[in-house]
Structure 1
Amino acid sequence: MAAQNKAPGGKQPTINDVAALAGVSKKTVSRVINRSEFLTDKTRAAVEKAIEQLGFVPNPQARALAFRRNFLIALLHDNPNAQTVLNFQRGVLDAIKDSDLALLVRPVDRTSDAMLEDVRTFLEKQRPIGAMLLPPISENDDLAALCENLGVRYVRIGSAPLDDAKHCISSNDREVVAEAVRRLIALGHRRIGFVRGPVGFRSAAERETGFLEALADAGLELPAEFNAPGNYRYTAGIEAGEALLSLAAPPTAIFCSNDEMAAGVMSVAHGKGVKVPEQLSIIGFDDSPTATHIWPALSTVRWPIHEMGIRAAQTLVPDFLAPGTKVAEDAVLASTFVERQSVAPPPGS
């Protein structure tokens, strides 16, 4: 085992002690600690050996002062779907687990007139290296400009590109929703209901556009009574299911803009004795745990939110990640349609 705490006088070792033992400057030790790329392998190895021998532990406050930032990255969100936030957060934590970074999660109120000022105060107090913005607040250009003005790196997450590649990680919601609806049409469905996402969400608009494009390509229209409002919550799915399945001629298939609402629709179907998928096909969006925790298992669009969390962190702070971390460059991550047991041809087909 390497000897430890060998600083002169038995005191806690300092960066100066490391520099003296390694035969380098204090600045070089700092570069090794902060994982600078501008060092030879020989120099890096010498410093790391000295750090191990002395049992030196870098002072996080001193490092923060040197960078004029805390070793924090912030996740800002106002999202009604807790599972989305959790899955994204897990991706970020996976990306930074071998680094010195920590994640700070901050919910905000996008409807408040004081949102921008609240975020400004938060960023000025916490001094994070960067911020990740989840939808729908990621769609706020003023919020992105605020980060830029404060010198805080930022990455926006969206269902469509919102910024240049270094400031945005997005998915292809419109195209994959159209693919899912075309599957229903191919099975023979012509009466297809739709449960929308929240008004003002880009994701909701992208998914609705994809839905309508698939219908139009097949020469179909969406009747007004088949178009149900939603807000990404389970209760909205219950309300939509009651409205759609109480019609004299209800739809034979329903596309829901997320899995929570799809689960609500399925619950109503079970309560009314409507068999899924024999009498009603249902598709959701997200591929959250809900999709496989209900019966029949839900056909859905897999939104790569975990991978988006990883990619967002890699894009935001590539220079703070563990040495050797492979940073992918794709700014658009493809969603995929996952067909399970909740989809079948319409009755009588």
Structure 2
Amino acid sequence: MPPRKKTERIAPPAKSASAVPGKAQTINDIARLAEVSKKTVSRVINQSPLVHKETRDRVEAVMREFNYTPDPFARGLAFRRSFLIGMVYDNPTAQYIVNMQYGALDAIRDSGFELVVHPCDSRSPGYIDGVRRFVQQQKLHGVMLVPRVSEDQALADMLAEIDCRYSRIASVSLDQASRMVITHDRDGAAEAADYLQSLGHRDIALITGPSSYRSAHERTAGFVEALAKRGIELPRERVVEAGYTFESGVASAERLLAGNQRPTAIFAGNDEMAAGVYKVALRAGISIPQELSVIGFDDSPLASRLWPALSSVRLPIRDMGRIAASMLLAEPAAASALAAASVRPHLIVRDSCQPPAR
């Protein structure tokens, strides 16, 4: 009877004296324990085909034994880039940013990439230099630009200059198609105008976002133009610029709802400002929707939590974040051939609007 063939097993090297149980191991520790170079460990982490199977198995066995999880910087050693996606934003609406992050995390899940965020003040003269330092210090693989910084051409030019990939989310096309996620805010605002007109409203007011935001211009233009097509003009005193915040919505509503000549409907450029209208109306004893119809924009979770539930133009913010991050994960050759991504807003009708009482 022939002898049984032995099955070869690749065992990890004996533990080094420097391997302390329970202590997090570094890439240098893994290299020493596996008796290979740090570069070889990096190649194993990045699934390089240049590593022999026996060496790969030995390194992976050591990594399993010590529960080693490489950080994104270690993964990027072989490529001189980190496995980090950056998100740069200057936006006062917390829920908007949270939803955008959720979308980006949806895209990078199980990809080995991680998300890092960089809030900034785009009104500061040195903010572009701050973004440059952020990108270079983190060695970012790419950057998502969220409105309003996505609208800043000087920022995009800087990223191109330092050879950093980026994607831009904006209401209109501002760059190469392969870098753009277009949100068509104008169309969503026009739908809100059409709905109020269909209910019979003619004395309508508008609370816009900041004039420095392209989205505010697009939402204003879409709303005003749609009403004009139906013979409804918005007097200057019925248009108030605010800051996309709850507090600015309160201040704007106080101006619009003072006195006896109140509008019968208000369209607010986002849900935070619409919530400010609710507060002023409640304080003044103005019932929604019986005496005042209100529409917001974004359809954030806040819209369905207000009472009565707020009609709002739904912008798929989470999808926008997912698409923008996915663009950065595509291979460069494939990414350059991509068409501009497009998401479409639409009005969600709830309980905050009805025909005017007068």
TM tier relative to shorter chain: 0.7 to 0.9
Q: Choose which of 171, 195, 206 in structure 2 pairs with 1:194.
A: 206
2:328 is aligned, of 313, 316, 337, to 316
- Classify 1:294/1:59 alpha carbon distance in 2 versus 1 (closer, same or farther; 3 Å): closer
The answer as to 2:303 corresponding to 1:291 is yes
After TM superposition, the score normalised by the length of structure 1 is 0.84
Structure 2 runs not aligned, ≥5 long: 1-7, 17-28, 333-337
- Cα drift, residue 52 of structure 1: 6.1
Return closer, same or farther for 1:212/1:54 CA change in 2, 3 Å cut-off: same
**What are the superposed Cα offsets for residues 258-311 of structure 1, whole Å, 9 maximum, x if unpaired?**
001101111111111111111110000011111111100000011111111111
Q: Does 1:7 align with 2:12?
A: yes
Aligned to 2:145: 133
Q: Which amino acid is the alignment partner of residue 182 of structure 1? A: D
Which residues in structure 2 correspond to 1:148-167 (within 5 Å)?
Answer: 148-167=160-179
Map 1:73-152 onto structure 2 (within 5 A): 73-152=85-164
1:347 and 2:352 are equivalent in the alignment: no
Matched residue type, 2:251: E
- Report the AA paired with residue 269 of structure 1: A
| 2:216 counterpart of 1:211 | no
Q: RMSD over aligned Cα, in angstroms?
A: 3.1
Residue identity opposite 2:355 in structure 1: P
> Which of 281, 284, 289 matches 1:272?
284
CA contact under 8 A between 1:5 and 1:54: conserved in structure 2? no
Q: Letter of the 1:121 partner, please give it.
A: R
Question: How many residues matched?
Answer: 327
Distance of 1:207 and 1:170 partners within structure 2: 14
1:15 deviates by: 11
* Structure 1 counterpart SS, 2:85: strand
Question: What corresponds to 2:342 in structure 1?
Answer: 332
Question: Structure 1 residues 5 and 283 mapped into 2: Cα distance closer, same or farther (>3 Å)?
Answer: farther
| Kept in 1: contact 2:12–2:61 (CA 8 A) | no
1:234 matches 2:239: no
- Listed as ranges, the matches of 1:51-62 within 5 Å are 55=63, 59-60=70-71, 61-62=73-74
> For residue 331 of structure 1, what is the amino acid of its counterpart?
A
Please say if 1:307 is aligned against 2:319.
yes
Letter matched to residue 194 of structure 1: L
**Counterpart-to-counterpart distance in 1, 2:300 and 2:290:** 23
Quote the offset at 1:54 in angstroms. 5.8
1:109: Cα distance to partner? 1.5
- CA deviation map 1:12-47 (0-9, x unaligned): 76599799xxxxxx79x94x75368x99xxx99999
Q: Which amino acid aligns with 2:182?
A: S
What one-letter code is carried by the residue in structure 1 that aligns with 2:351?
A: Q
1:171/1:335 contact within 8 Å kept: yes
- Structure 1 pair 100–239 and aligned structure 2 pair: CA distance change class (3 A): same
**Runs of at least 4 residues of structure 1 off by over 2 A?**
7-19, 32-36, 43-63
Shift of the 47–218 alpha-carbon distance from structure 1 to 2, 3 Å rule, reads farther
Q: Is the 8 A contact 1:4 1:53 kept in 2?
A: no
- Quote the Cα distance in structure 1 between the aligned partners of 2:340 and 2:211: 29
One-letter code of the match for 1:168?
M
Sort the Cα spacing of 1:209 and 1:44 in 2 relative to 1 into closer, same or farther, 3 A. farther
Farther-moved stretch of structure 1 (209-218 vs 164-173): 164-173
- C-alpha spacing 1:18/1:220, structure 2 compared with 1 (3 Å): farther
Alpha-carbon separation, structure 1, partners of 2:350 and 2:242 = 23
Query: Residue by residue, what CA displacement relative to the aligned partner does 1:50-90 show, whole Å, maximum 9, x if unpaired?
Result: 77666555754543221111111111111111111111011
Match of 1:243 in 2: 255
Residues of 2 paired with 1:16 and 1:313: CA distance? Answer: 36
How far is the alpha carbon of 1:165 from its aligned partner?
A: 2.2
TM-score normalised by the chain length of structure 2: 0.82
Tell me the alpha carbon deviations over residues 220-245 of structure 1, each in whole angstroms, 9 at most, x when there is no partner: 10011211121101111111111111
Q: Is the alpha carbon distance of 1:313 and 1:278 closer, same or farther for their aligned partners in structure 2, counting shifts above 3 Å?
A: same
Q: CA deviation at 1:211?
A: 0.7
